[in-house]
């Protein structure tokens, strides 16, 4: 490579780095953050971010270390924890975070937290209200 080719390559990497990829991933993440209670599939997320679903999957995993699906599940579990701490019923919490089956929600919650939603609700209610 000549001196000028190297210079051009360095300039290209500086000015045209992965900005488009970063914008696509950030757009997808922001959408997941604000619409996590809706039914979201990879096709929809790819359309919103302006990239193919397979490319988005690779980019998301590269930048965040997890897939969009895993991120969505984590987001929903965190929202469920907040609702359960406020005294919301397990069924209402399930529907509020965008899931349709209380049984599936309970299994998912237990897999992620190590306890069932009702056990989590009791444990956080007991620690937040010492009079009971």
In this predicted model, what pLDDT tens digit does every residue of 14-60 receive, in sequence order? 555 577 788 889 999 999 999 999 999 999 999 999 999 999 999 99
CB 113 within 8 A of CB 106: no
Closest of 17, 43, 13, 10 to residue 28, by C-alpha: 43
DSSP 78: H
Nearest to 27 by CA among 51, 54, 62: 51
Residue 4 forms part of a structural domain? no
Is the Cβ–Cβ distance between 73 and 112 less than 8 Å? yes
Distance CA(113)–CA(123), nearest Å, equals 12
Compute the radius of gyration of the chain from its Cα atoms. 21
**Do the domain assignments include residue 32?**
yes
Same domain, 94 and 45: no
**pTM higher than the cut 0.95:** no
Backbone angles phi, psi at 35, to 5 degrees: -125, 25
pLDDT for residue 107 is more than 70: yes
Q: Which domain holds residue 37?
A: 19-65
Secondary structure string (H, E, C) spanning 81-109: HHHHHCCCCHHHHHHHCCCCCHHHHHHHH
H/E stretch holding 1 reads: none
Instruction: Evaluate whether residue 14 is within a structural domain.
Output: no
pLDDT 10s digits, 57-72: 999 998 899 999 999 9
Q: Are residues 59 and 107 in the same domain?
A: no
CATH number for position 113: 1.10.10.60
Last residue of a domain, one of 65, 94, 119: 65
Same domain, 123 and 77: yes
For residue 108, is it within any domain?
A: yes
């Amino acid at each position: 490579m000549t001196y000028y080719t190297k210079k051009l390559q360095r300039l290209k990497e500086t000015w045209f780095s992965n900005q488009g990829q970063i914008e696509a991933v950030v757009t997808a993440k922001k959408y997941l953050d604000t619409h996590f209670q809706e039914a979201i599939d990879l096709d929809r997320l790819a359309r919103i971010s302006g990239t193919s679903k397979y490319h988005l999957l690779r980019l998301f995993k590269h930048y965040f270390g997890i897939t969009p699906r895993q991120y969505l599940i984590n987001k929903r579990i965190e929202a469920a924890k907040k609702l359960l701490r406020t005294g919301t019923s397990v069924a209402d919490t399930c529907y509020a975070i965008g899931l349709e089956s209380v049984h599936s929600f309970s299994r998912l919650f237990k897999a992620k937290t190590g306890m069932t939603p009702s056990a989590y609700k009791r444990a956080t209610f007991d620690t937040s209200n010492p009079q009971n």
